[in-house]
Structure 1
């Protein structure tokens, strides 16, 4: 079993995913009424989140199987929770604390409920009605991105039960059931149920389960490794298709999107990291993708509010994205990576202490 083998191709897919997510927010912040509005608003660039979800499902399944192979189920689950908590929670709470300054700033539009939901990792429940068009919601340019972080954390809580209690064929069957139910569920893109699309996570779990079987090498022979340009092309096609399809078809479209992202991720596992500069750039973006996801939208909104009328939208957008990337590098280097390593050390120490 080679569960610990790092899949270098996924690092660059994370970079592509966060690039799409950032692009999905450039439109609402800067594009309204401008010449770039049709390009920035029309496609559903937030399909990058679905790509993240598939990667997460795959990585979590492999991580849990690897931990289970090394130690007992309880110790494996404990180690998994410690590692994920140290990777996700402190950075989210740090950014949430900074954003909470808006609670005392007149006109910020940030509501106490926004912050509470973010800190409790239930933002998907909190923002669902807002994305569905409900009135009286807080400032979406601050805490709204925490909805997907909440979905990830909730998945982490259930993941050990799913992976340890269900055999691999059952995980694949569960993914199929989720896709079928999702396809027949009315869930227009950006609507209330938009924050509860678990299709992509289920597909990622299924891919991880299949990769752990003896049939994977034979299946892999029929797949061709995917490059970053081809992955970007297919994700762009998905973004434009979701934008033009009628809302009544978005259940099927979201399920198909999850399958397409799974197809891309499965092919990305077959290749090593790129040696070209675009690939290296995506790799770097992938390494800071979590911090960048948390902070990019409030940074974009703050720059647009303070500098947009002086510099114009293109210059302000470029400057704000560069700032967000720089801040993400700092947050990842100072907090994200050290805490991730600390979590691994703590989990390993806990296992050694309980071992006979």
Structure 2
């Protein structure tokens, strides 16, 4: 069987579906920029969905990468060579698309007269490592949160591998739990020294700062450890985890959308509880999606396509496609139906351009990676 067919056969439909749900929720939230003068229950629900979509990305990414890292680290032969292979494969997966889109953004927005400060930071995922996100290429904030742990953990495990006779499975768990604890302590320190009065300030100073958000990725990695070590419990917790996750999300949606807890009166909720609870809810969905092995072609094929182009869609859809469309097409005086037409055009352009990036750039590079590494 050819390698590409074997990969498709081994793909888990539910995890692809989870990735697709994440990108669609993020897309839906960003589409609200087109309808910025409209505010109702639907727009509030869509805005909340954006929070869920990003957390799904973080947790799912941690789960998938965590399984690879765990298998590498518990191998008694784990050394620099194994770490190097992991890092090179990860570099090939993430960096080419990211660097291409970043350079395109720099070129286009410089041409349009946009003053880009600290552009060099974007090449090293430092644009929001410990400081508020820079205004340029704003959706790249999640890249730092996802990628920094994957470049640091292999080296941390190399150091831990030097401990003779240690239980590496246990060391892996302690490393992940310790990382989550350190990030939560950083959140507490932020809470004690910061007096946020608006969600806009909270969004750029906490939600989008990698130092305070890496715990979401680590929760996904923790879920991979639980699956690896307690598969019998994992397989039996499908519906319990799914129902509990929906209860958590429903409670958060009620508090945010209906009760409307103000951040100035409830800073503990916003600074310490809101985002971690969404991440926990996302992690609780994993047993359900991870055991949904297959689906009919009518459902599998579109999900497979959307999952394949999801990374390209994420990189292109907002700053590059939507911003440029709104820059050249004035939507201010459009009525509702004209905005709907604009939205359809925007989505069409996004998916066509994303497919081109995937088909003619990302996919050939993945083939090279699989052949050489």
TM-score, normalized by length of structure 1? 0.79
Change (3 A) 1:234 1:255: closer
Query: Take 1:148 and 1:341, find their aligned partners in 2: how far apart are those partners?
Result: 26
Confirm or deny: 8 A CA contact 1:86 1:343 kept in the other structure: yes
In 2, distance between residues paired with 1:232 and 1:274? 23
- Correspondences of 1:149-298 after superposition (within 5 Å): 149-162=143-156, 165=160, 167-171=171-175, 173-174=177-178, 177=181, 181=185, 184=188, 186=191, 189-195=202-208, 196=210, 197-213=213-229, 215-224=230-239, 238=252, 241-242=255-256, 244-247=260-263, 248=267, 249-250=269-270, 251-275=272-296, 277=298, 280-297=301-318, 298=320
The separation in 1 between residues aligned to 2:249 and 2:325, in whole angstroms, is 28
CA distance in 1, matches of 2:310, 2:99: 16
> What is the total number of aligned residue pairs between the two structures?
329
2:89 paired residue among 54, 65, 83: 83
TM-superposed CA distance for 1:254, in Å, is 1.3
Aligned residue in 2 for 1:33:
37
Shift of 1:17: 0.5
Aligned to 1:304: 326
With over 3 angstroms needed to count, the CA separation of the structure-2 counterparts of 1:15 and 1:302, relative to structure 1, is same
Change (3 A) 1:239 1:70: farther
Contact 1:45–1:236 under 8 Å retained in 2: no
Structure 2 CA distance, aligned partners of 1:335 and 1:71?
34
Partner of 2:5: none
Superposition CA RMSD, Å: 3.4
Separation in structure 1 between the aligned mates of residue 94 and residue 31 of structure 2, nearest angstrom: 25
The alpha-carbon deviation at position 267 of structure 1 amounts to 2.3
Pairwise CA distance, 1:206: 0.6
Counterpart of 1:324 in structure 2 is 350
1:221-269 alpha-carbon deviations (Å, 9 max, x no partner): 2323989x99899767756655534331122111111111100123211
CA deviations on 1:252-303 (whole Å, 9 max, x unpaired) are 1111111111001232112113327455433322221111110000211222
The answer (yes or no) to whether the contact 2:93–2:366 under 8 Å persists in 1 is yes
Measure, in 2, the Cα distance between the counterparts of 1:233 and 1:277: 30
What's the counterpart of residue 354 of structure 1? none
Q: 1:61 and 1:269 mapped to 2: Cα distance?
A: 14
> Is the contact made by 2:63 and 2:222 (CA closer than 8 Å) also made in structure 1?
yes
- Mapped to 1, the partners of 2:232 and 2:226 lie a distance apart of 10
List alignment gaps of at least 5 residues for structure 2. Answer: 1-8, 161-167
CA distance in 1, matches of 2:304, 2:21: 9
The residue number in structure 2 matching 1:102 is 108
Partner-residue secondary structure (3-state), 2:53: helix
**Corresponding residue of 2:126:** 122
Report how far residue 62 of structure 1 moved: 1.0
- The 8 Å contact of residues 237 and 287 in structure 2, kept in 1 or not, is answered as no
Match for residue 28 of structure 2 among 19, 23, 44: 23
User: What residue is the counterpart of 1:73 in the other structure?
Assistant: 79
What are structure 1's unaligned runs of at least 5 residues? 131-136, 348-356
Of 14-23 and 266-275, deviating more is 266-275
**Distance in 1 between residues matched to 2:178 and 2:287, nearest whole Å:** 18
CA distance in 2, matches of 1:327, 1:236: 35
Residue 145 of structure 1 aligns to a residue whose secondary structure is helix
Counterpart contact for 1:43–1:240, Cα < 8 Å: no
Distance 2:244 2:296 in 1: 16
